[in-house]
Amino acid sequence: MPGFVQCVNVVANFGRFSMTSIILAGGKSSRLGRSKALQVIGSKSLIQWVIDHLAIFSSEIIVVTANGEPIASSSTIRIKTVADTYSSKSALVGIYSGLIASANPRAIVVGCDMPFLSIGLLKYMAQICSNFDVVVPQLKNKLEPLCAVYSKNCVAPIRCLLEHNELRISKLFTLVKAKYVEKDEINRFDPEHLSFFNINSGLDLAKARKLAIKKGWLYSGQESDSFSNHLITAS
């Protein structure tokens, strides 16, 4: 079982940070027309792909949904589900709701529709976040706020924004101490920028399935060798 052994070694090498992972799953999925979190690539739902990446090094995983409805997961790590604290279905509300529920001072925040997260990139951002309120990737002046690390210091500024009906995450970055992870840094871990591949439509889902096959990341029952090697080289 070489694939399984490699995957165990990866977990041992990474360890678990004292950091929460927050998965946002409260969106309307209007373009796809059905729940994005439960769409399948290979034998796993999108949210299971995300959970499997985060469970390698996160001590707590929180899934934020619109009404706190549970989402099925096959992971052994405990998954906490919380509801959006405001009725407006926006990513900023999801971040706020997750941070309030978090037992740790900092949290990785990702979307439920991002199956190809780079563990190496997430680990890097977790390692450099101690002096910042937000650590967020930036490519060609485009921010990736749903693949970022947030501190609980963001709770009060977010609450203020929401109370003024301001839902833009970018506005938060002007109110807190932010670290922008630039392209050269990102390329060390994720040169194809697949961490930011998210699924909004049927075409995106079809592309993700083809990509998973091409990369050899599909498995049956246990991790394939190629996917385990991907985890190792991402470190």
pLDDT tens for each residue of the chain, 235 residues long? 333 333 333 333 445 567 899 999 976 654 555 678 888 999 899 999 999 999 887 889 999 998 877 777 766 677 899 999 888 779 999 999 999 999 999 999 999 999 999 999 999 999 999 999 999 999 988 999 999 999 999 999 999 999 999 999 999 999 999 999 999 999 999 999 999 999 988 899 999 999 999 988 885 433 333 343 344 333 3
CA separation for the pair 33, 36 (Å, rounded): 9
Six-digit token pair at 191?
């040169």
Domain residue ranges in the chain: 16-201
Fold of 16-201: Spore Coat Polysaccharide Biosynthesis Protein SpsA; Chain A (3.90.550)
pTM of the model: 0.84
CB 195 within 8 A of CB 117: yes
Pairing of strands 142-143, 134-139: antiparallel
Report CA dihedral (44, 149, 23, 159) to the nearest 10 degrees.
-170
CA separation for the pair 98, 96 (Å, rounded): 5
Six-digit token pair at 167?
């839902």
